[in-house]
Structure 1
């Protein structure tokens, strides 16, 4: 009995292991033939693909792919055995290869491609770019003109398309013929020796671009000369001295650009430096500053930073104030200085600086006070809260003149 059971189980297992695997059904490809072969078209033209087939035409699809994108189309006409697919305008306006496949239930029945050419006869448009819009004189700098001619549907024209570049400077008009490569063309317009404006334009297939321009600015300034002038040469601290340059030019003789900054550096006899600035108008820079308030000798030189420098010119100022009186009162605590008279015995303008240095009798500095003149005079009061009674050395400095006094300060000024 046991043997019979084992034999039955063996037969069952053997039968399971030898099941016949199901085979997929083979796809039955229907017949399909193109009615007319299309190998090329022109951008913008209507394109249709027609096929003759015995398949169920409603299930047929056309897949197209080009630079615009990818799409699945259904047939437009399915009468008789003819099936027609119309390619959308968005695809037919893009130049380049356009690939297609006829599909049935995911299977490719037929495939091919056609080329779409640019539509040059319809219209030509020119995209042009020019820059930089400013260059420096001297034939070493240039602006690049880039031209990209296209058809009416913005397709770049074929390589080898001829483009004419025209450029004008002053009385000269020149032109140059170039050809497109990789769908564009370019031309370098070099700067000139003279400053001015260069105009450029381009032409392709009888169509001209818009006018573009670059400005040729003067090159770096070269060395120049300066001069000084004033109504008089007295050091009154009031009159204005004017520094003027000649016409500043670059190495090619072009007048430098208006607004060029010129720095005038002034050195006096004590090697102290002052400066004033001016900007050019019609190539000439002018700067002004006040006269010193004491006799002085100035050396003036001007600079265009990083580019040029001027000669060194000198200007000597004579003392306008020869002397001034000093009066002490109220226990020598009240000091009246002046009147200060200028070179024609006139009172000096308000604002002359006066300094009082105070020392003890051993020459040790204690403190100082400063003031300025008003109506030709000035006054300093040394109150008891400021200096206690005693002997002091007082040094007064004004208009380059120093006066020294030894005074006893006394008296009660608090009451």
Structure 2
């Protein structure tokens, strides 16, 4: 066979065991007056003939049609047997295609896991040959360094990453034959919390409905001692002495939940318990609140019912804004006013001032006003 024209990398005579690397062009010599076609996984091609001598011609197989790894068939149409050529993938190029999923796992001592997947490809996006070695290293949240070598199978290399017992980030580095991938991260998070404790801080033990105290949880951990994530919802169930109950929400910061709770408006025992879904709950704590108001008068003065002076536990005027509730015991109608400078005033407009039964409540102190015919 004559030498192919300048610019052609190799000739068919120099193919090694009938193989060629993807993206390499080469030439085929054919007798004068004959034609060739090339069949690849992309399709079939009739190629132009370049005159080389009076006896033979050269057909250039360009790199543009042999970039995909696989099998190429050259047909000569002169009785010469077809030539089968295997196009092999080249070496991996940067960056390596690397995937980690899931993005986060529970640090539960190996029950949860994520998959690291590496897909080395050459410059024409062919999967590299099976058995391509892939090395990866990991730094786990506990500071330990792990290294492993795996080989591709059907173009893919993969390995399971099992959880450990400490929360944090696992940093992953991957390379093959000096070709590197982007750094990957796997987040290892705390598991379901275990039971915890709560306690009150700064209690003013009087039912004035104005002061507040803090409920603070202990550090909330999972079964391996990992602190739960910031923003974990903690629900506080509060039961007041009057039988009412409420659910108040708080969120963890640095493993603790802190909640401000207003003092009750009625004397008695207030109970609190916290929970996190169906996973964990706290102890039940109870605190006794004494009546805040020691003395309160109420009288009709012109067109008003004047309540006051409203005297607190230590002989002081009740704080401005202290709630005073007037209830008509016959109709159930209620009206709320607030103490200002020791007094609260209710208008009697529209009220039957000749026949009435009224109950006035402030800070657990109850005062009743009744007309003579209702006594």
Seen in structure 2, the aligned counterparts of structure 1 residues 84 and 295 have a Cα distance that, compared at 3 Å, is same
Seen in structure 2, the aligned counterparts of structure 1 residues 51 and 297 have a Cα distance that, compared at 3 Å, is same
Residue number in structure 2 paired with 1:213: 185
Seen in structure 2, the aligned counterparts of structure 1 residues 117 and 35 have a Cα distance that, compared at 3 Å, is closer
TM-score, reference length from structure 1: 0.79
**Contiguous gaps of at least 5 residues in structure 1:** 1-33, 410-415
Q: Of the candidates 267, 270, 281, which is equivalent to residue 309 of structure 1? A: 281
Residue number in structure 1 paired with 2:4: none
Is residue 227 from structure 1 mapped to residue 199 from structure 2 by the alignment?
yes
Is residue 72 from structure 1 mapped to residue 38 from structure 2 by the alignment?
no
How much does 1:253 deviate?
0.6
Q: Distance in 2 between matches of 1:149 and 1:204?
A: 8
Corresponding residue SS for 1:284: coil
Residue number in structure 2 paired with 1:100: 74
1:188-199 pair list within 5 angstroms: 188-199=160-171
How much does 1:254 deviate?
0.7
Q: Residue 77 of structure 1 contacts residue 84 of structure 1 at CA under 8 Å; is this kept in 2? A: yes
How much does 1:64 deviate?
1.9
Query: 1:209-254, CA deviations, whole angstroms, 9 ceiling, x for partnerless residues?
Result: 2221111111111100010122521112221110011111100011
Residue number in structure 2 paired with 1:202: 174
Corresponding residue SS for 1:275: strand
Q: Where in structure 1 do 4 or more consecutive aligned residues deviate above 4 Å?
A: 34-38, 122-125
Residue number in structure 2 paired with 1:356: 326
How much does 1:110 deviate?
6.2
Is residue 376 from structure 1 mapped to residue 342 from structure 2 by the alignment?
yes
1:81-160 pair list within 5 angstroms: 81-102=55-76, 111-120=82-91, 126-138=96-108, 139-160=110-131
Bigger relative contact order (CA 8 A; separation at least 6): 2
Q: Of the candidates 39, 46, 49, which is equivalent to residue 25 of structure 2? A: 46
**Contiguous gaps of at least 5 residues in structure 2:** 1-10
Query: 1:363-404, CA deviations, whole angstroms, 9 ceiling, x for partnerless residues?
Result: x43744332222321111222xx1356322222222222222
Q: Residue 276 of structure 1 contacts residue 288 of structure 1 at CA under 8 Å; is this kept in 2? A: no
How much does 1:124 deviate?
7.1
Q: Of the candidates 359, 364, 369, which is equivalent to residue 400 of structure 1? A: 364
Q: Of the candidates 228, 252, 264, which is equivalent to residue 236 of structure 2? A: 264
Residue number in structure 1 paired with 2:134: 163
Q: Distance in 1 between matches of 2:168 and 2:138?
A: 13
Q: Distance in 2 between matches of 1:270 and 1:358?
A: 20
Q: Distance in 2 between matches of 1:318 and 1:204?
A: 74
Q: Residue 124 of structure 1 contacts residue 205 of structure 1 at CA under 8 Å; is this kept in 2? A: no
Please give the root-mean-square deviation of Cα atoms over the aligned residues, in Å: 2.6
Max radius of gyration: which structure?
1
Corresponding residue SS for 1:90: helix
Seen in structure 2, the aligned counterparts of structure 1 residues 358 and 279 have a Cα distance that, compared at 3 Å, is closer
Residue number in structure 2 paired with 1:241: 213
Q: Distance in 1 between matches of 2:353 and 2:172?
A: 88
How much does 1:35 deviate?
8.7
Query: 1:294-320, CA deviations, whole angstroms, 9 ceiling, x for partnerless residues?
Result: 312111111112321000011111111
Q: Residue 94 of structure 2 contacts residue 181 of structure 2 at CA under 8 Å; is this kept in 1? A: no
1:294-305 pair list within 5 angstroms: 294-305=266-277
Corresponding residue SS for 1:257: coil
Further displaced range: 397-406 or 37-46: 37-46
Further displaced range: 180-189 or 227-236: 227-236
Residue number in structure 2 paired with 1:254: 226
Corresponding residue SS for 1:113: strand
TM-score, reference length from structure 2: 0.87
Residue number in structure 1 paired with 2:261: 289
Query: 1:154-185, CA deviations, whole angstroms, 9 ceiling, x for partnerless residues?
Result: 32121122222322213311122222111111
